[in-house]
Amino acid sequence: MNWNKVIENRVAKSGIITLDLVDFIPSGNQYVVDMKDFMQDGLILREKDFRLRIKEKDWSEFQDSFVAVSNSSDGIIPLWAYMLISSALQPYSSLVVRGNKSHLKGALLKRSIEAIDESEYKDKRVIIKGCGKESIPESAYIAITQKLQPVVRSLMFGEACSTVPVFKA
């Protein structure tokens, strides 16, 4: 056996581009604002009290952050209530979405994916990394597929050592 043989990294030489969707999550604070916190007893929404609580809240704590507006109460929330919360957050936050932290992450990823210059991936072989430190919403995998499929030579899911073919031109 020849022990002097140099180990070569065939993956690096293959020209395959690996994208980790975690890298597309912008840095910045992420918060969830619960509508329940602005309701009487966390259950009843009275417009006058609701507006007062919104007015008294220091919204500057959300400066340059990403915010999901959720509702953990069993109370019925009129649509205008979400608009009032969104209006209060607008001068401070970078993005406001309806939902939980996972919805927020999905919206952030979608926005970042839409901003990709797909010409960088024209006729390339691309792997979308499937396992990582953070969970990625399914919507992000759909968005990256829709964005890259028209231009890539092939699109795969997984790791370089074990991929699932998704698309091949």
* For residues 128-154, average pLDDT: 93
| Backbone dihedral angles phi then psi of residue 19, each to the nearest 5 degrees | -110, 130
Residue 135 exposed, middle or buried by CB count within 10 Å (0-12, 13-18, 19+): exposed
Residue 20 exposed, middle or buried by CB count within 10 Å (0-12, 13-18, 19+): middle
pLDDT (tens digit per residue) in 79-120: 999 999 999 999 999 999 999 999 999 999 999 999 999 999
Name which residue leads in pLDDT, 40 or 90. 90
* For residues 124-141, average pLDDT: 91
* For residues 7-34, average pLDDT: 83
| Residue keyed to tokens 């699109």 | 155
DSSP per-residue codes, 14-60: TTEEEE-GGGGSPPS-EEEEEGGGGSBTTTB--HHHHHHHHHHS-GG
Give the pLDDT confidence score for residue 168 in this predicted structure.
95
Contacts (Cβ under 8 Å, ≥6 apart) of 69 = 32, 33, 35, 82, 85, 86, 89, 96, 97, 98, 99
pTM of the model: 0.82
Mean of the per-residue pLDDT values of the chain: 91
Give the pLDDT confidence score for residue 41 in this predicted structure.
85
State how far the alpha carbon of 114 is from the alpha carbons of 92, 117, 144, in Å.
Answer: 23, 8, 8
Residue 64 exposed, middle or buried by CB count within 10 Å (0-12, 13-18, 19+): exposed
